[in-house]
């Protein structure tokens, strides 16, 4: 145990400061065990006041601080990288402070698991719209710090759109209490926006007040086979115009992604016939709306126009869940392959079909033996291109992954898209982010860092271009 760790344990106690390697190990690696870090200690504050005290102590001891949520991030954004750093997990701060049904708001501490908050507000016939595959593990502080996306962005927006107020401890231990359920407050620039998506580099989010919606009671789900990827646009327009905001999700999978998902799933659900692309469509409403009629109506029109070949409409909630499990199984199937490229890019909605066609073709031709899998959130232009390299020596597979990433990013840049639609930057995409950061936003980001964390102690190595923290 280092002298710094001993000092922290003497001040905060053994329950709040872990130094045993075995106890720390789960917090020093990422979701897929791709990287492993090191730290002087794992800090487990039990209150906002204790977070402040720990940040002051870390500064006094010359330690950097890496805030952590549920450990479900995909860009290595919360992995400490040295014995001059400590990880700070918010998992003990897991209290729902208030549910305000009349204000359609909930205030939860950063360590609350997203699924637990969703279940708590559902008891009041309310709905927290952030819906992601990791919601049984990810935490409120993590989804706010990374501005998480998910399947309902089409209807409700990103996590940023759900945040009404924040409680944040700054790098020097100062508390900013910005918790509020106000919907309108136009008193100058909004400080909370600085911390949403900042990945813990400007301070530690300790609690959030989040916007709620009426709980959807009715649901209709369909998985449809399309003749080709170009037909996605036509089907989406029919769905959007027929259902407006009742359309809560519109996902897509290319045949290669569908095949990998089916292999990964035990007993896959009933599927439509073969298609050149697939769309998973979800309608939801809080009241007595005939969603089945709406769904069947626009799909009948799509069938008449040759935009749909076949489809399966869920006849029960269990069948709908099985269809969604198939969509989530793509990542599990890719993980079984071994090393692979995992991406999270976006382009304009109108360009998704052309982008998917061109980038999968370019990767297949430019990386011999590689299999590109395209899927994602069509309704908001978010495309996940996963690339499975040909099996071989580790160095060859890594080279293939690197080449595939170069091809993908070049195509994204050519269309004015984003290299990170919802996963964030972390450490994994830091160099790519730096290469694309224009001078004006670079100066603004550096100025904010200098004002909020002048010593660069908050999550060094994540998000920000190399500077004082290397």
Give the pLDDT band (50/70/90) at residue 9: very high
- How far is the CA of 417 from the CAs of 228, 364, 412, in angstroms? 23, 21, 5
For residue 265 the two structure tokens come to 């799933």
Residue 360 near residue 396 (C-beta atoms within 8 A)? no
Residue 164 near residue 209 (C-beta atoms within 8 A)? yes
CA 101 – CA 73 distance, rounded (Å):
31
For residue 271 the two structure tokens come to 């599927």
Residue 370 near residue 334 (C-beta atoms within 8 A)? no
Residue 1 near residue 14 (C-beta atoms within 8 A)? no
Residue 66 near residue 86 (C-beta atoms within 8 A)? yes
CA 465 – CA 431 distance, rounded (Å):
7
Task: Give the mean model confidence (pLDDT) for residues 21-36.
Answer: 94
Query: Can 3-89 and 218-335 be said to share one CATH topology?
Result: no
Residue 407 near residue 359 (C-beta atoms within 8 A)? yes
Mean pLDDT over all residues of the chain?
A: 97
Q: Strand pairing partners for 64?
A: 85
For residue 153 the two structure tokens come to 């962005």
pLDDT tens for each residue of 405-455: 999 999 999 999 999 999 999 999 999 999 999 999 999 999 999 999 999
pLDDT tens for each residue of 244-266: 999 999 999 999 999 999 999 98
62: left (phi over 0), alpha (psi -120 to 50) or beta: left
pLDDT tens for each residue of 152-175: 999 999 999 999 999 999 999 999
| pLDDT for the residue numbered 266 | 83
| pLDDT for the residue numbered 453 | 97
CATH number of 96-214: 3.30.465.10
Angle at 164 between CA 162 and CA 168, to 5 degrees: 110
For residue 417 the two structure tokens come to 């898209």
| pLDDT for the residue numbered 24 | 98
- In this predicted structure, the answer to whether residue 465 has a pLDDT above a threshold of 80 is no
The pTM score is 0.95
CA 203 – CA 457 distance, rounded (Å):
10
| pLDDT for the residue numbered 1 | 78
DSSP code at position 123: T
For residue 318 the two structure tokens come to 């269990």
Residue 66 near residue 24 (C-beta atoms within 8 A)? no
| pLDDT for the residue numbered 269 | 84
Span 338-414 CATH architecture: 2-Layer Sandwich (3.30)
pLDDT tens for each residue of 341-394: 999 999 999 999 999 999 999 999 999 999 999 999 999 999 999 999 999 999
pLDDT tens for each residue of 121-141: 999 999 999 999 999 999 999
- In this predicted structure, the answer to whether residue 468 has a pLDDT above a threshold of 50 is no
pLDDT tens for each residue of 75-121: 999 999 999 999 999 999 999 999 999 999 999 999 999 999 999 99
Nearest to 250 by CA among 216, 218, 223: 223
**Exposure string over 128-159, b if 16+ CB within 10 A, otherwise e:** bbbbbbbbebbbbbbbbbbbbbbbbbbbbebb
Domain ranges of the chain: 3-89, 96-214, 218-335, 338-414
CATH of 3-89 given 3.40.50.12280, 3.30.43.10, 3.50.50.60, 3.40.50.300: 3.30.43.10
Rg (CA), the chain: 23
User: In this structure, how many other beta carbons lie within 10 angstroms of the beta carbon of residue 221?
Assistant: 25
Backbone φ, ψ for residue 216 (5° rounding): -65, 125
pLDDT tens for each residue of 233-248: 999 999 999 999 999 9
Residue 186 near residue 143 (C-beta atoms within 8 A)? no
Share of the chain above pLDDT 70, in %: 99
CATH number of 218-335: 3.30.70.2190
């Amino acid at each position: 145990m280092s002298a710094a760790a001993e000092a922290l344990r003497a001040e905060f106690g053994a329950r709040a400061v872990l130094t045993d390697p075995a106890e720390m190990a789960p917090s020093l690696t990422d979701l897929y065990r791709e990287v492993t870090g090191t730290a002087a200690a794992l800090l487990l504050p039990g209150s906002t006041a204790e977070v402040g005290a720990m940040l002051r102590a870390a500064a006094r001891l010359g330690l950097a601080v890496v805030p952590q949520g549920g450990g479900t991030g995909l860009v290595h954004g919360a992995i400490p990288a040295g014995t001059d750093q400590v990880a700070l997990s918010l998992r003990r701060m897991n209290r729902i402070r208030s549910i305000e049904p009349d204000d359609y708001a909930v205030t939860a501490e950063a360590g609350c698991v997203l699924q637990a908050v969703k279940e708590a507000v559902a008891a009041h016939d309310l709905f927290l719209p952030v819906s992601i595959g990791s919601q049984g593990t990810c935490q409120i502080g993590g989804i706010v710090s990374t501005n998480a996306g998910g399947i309902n962005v089409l209807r409700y927006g990103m996590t940023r759109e759900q945040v009404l107020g924040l409680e944040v401890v700054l790098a020097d231990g100062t508390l900013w209490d910005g918790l509020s359920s106000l919907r309108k407050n136009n008193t100058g620039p909004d400080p909370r926006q600085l911390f949403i998506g900042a990945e813990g580099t400007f301070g530690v989010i300790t609690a959030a007040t989040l916007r709620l919606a009426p709980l959807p009671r009715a649901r209709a789900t369909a998985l449809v086979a399309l003749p080709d990827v170009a037909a996605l646009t036509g089907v989406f327009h029919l769905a959007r115009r027929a259902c407006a905001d009742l359309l809560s999700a519109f996902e897509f999978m290319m045949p290669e992604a569908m095949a990998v998902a089916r292999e990964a799933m035990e007993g896959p659900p009933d599927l439509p016939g073969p298609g050149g692309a697939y769309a998973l469509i979800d309608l939801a409403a809080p009241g007595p709306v005939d969603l089945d009629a709406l769904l069947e109506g626009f799909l009948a029109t799509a069938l008449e126009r040759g935009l749909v070949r076949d489809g399966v409409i869920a006849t029960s909630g269990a069948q709908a869940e099985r269809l969604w499990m198939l969509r989530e199984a793509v990542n599990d199937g890719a993980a079984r392959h071994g090393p692979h490229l995992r991406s999270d890019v976006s382009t304009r909605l109108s360009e998704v079909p052309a982008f998917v066609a061109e980038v999968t073709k370019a990767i297949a031709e430019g990386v011999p033996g590689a299999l590109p899998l395209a899927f994602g959130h069509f309704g908001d232009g978010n495309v996940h291109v996963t690339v499975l390299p040909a099996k071989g020596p580790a160095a060859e597979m890594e080279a293939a992954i690197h080449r595939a990433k170069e091809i993908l990013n070049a195509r994204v840049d050519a269309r004015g898209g984003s290299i990170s639609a919802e996963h964030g930057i972390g450490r994994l995409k830091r160099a790519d982010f730096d290469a694309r950061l224009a001078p004006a936003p670079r100066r603004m980001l550096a100025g904010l860092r200098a004002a909020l964390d002048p010593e660069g102690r908050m999550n060094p190595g994540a998000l920000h271009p190399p500077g004082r923290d290397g």
